[in-house]
Amino acid sequence: MKRRSIDPEADDLDALAGLARALAALRTADEVTAFLEDLCTPAERQAMADRWRVIPLLLNGMTYRDIHDRTGVSVTTVGRVARCLELGAGGYRTAARRLRLPGAGSHH
């Protein structure tokens, strides 16, 4: 039987930190791909790939509708990604800068 923690929120933060450390320990795109294949369902991987796929298009100023027409990613998802890109924790922008995507700049 699974024991309940006294502080499940702290457990969730510890688990997220552990996952972040695991990802940071991986050294190549192939290693990350293998990890994601083990960790996520095909639908989860596709959802993450879709979100990432719209980042360069948003950075280049493409409209949500044009992004949807080009990628098939829903306008709602494009809007969520755009909000995270502008107001989120900065992860998208950091990755985009490190990959030297046009338009990533040093916004935040």
- 76/59 Cα distance (integer angstroms): 17
- The pTM is what? 0.82
The pLDDT of residue 29 is 97
In the predicted model, is pLDDT for residue 4 greater than 70? no
Q: Name, in order, each residue with C-beta under 8 angstroms of 81's C-beta and a sequence gap of 6 or more.
A: 51, 54, 55, 58, 92
- Alpha-helical segments (H) within the chain: 8-25, 29-39, 42-59, 64-71, 75-87, 91-98
The pLDDT of residue 64 is 98
CB 67, CB 54: distance < 8 Å: yes
pLDDT in tens, 20-67: 999 999 999 999 999 999 999 999 999 999 999 999 999 999 999 999
pLDDT in tens, 73-103: 999 999 999 999 999 999 999 999 999 999 9
Q: Name, in order, each residue with C-beta under 8 angstroms of 37's C-beta and a sequence gap of 6 or more.
A: 45
The pLDDT of residue 1 is 55
- 93/105 Cα distance (integer angstroms): 8
In the predicted model, is pLDDT for residue 107 greater than 80? no
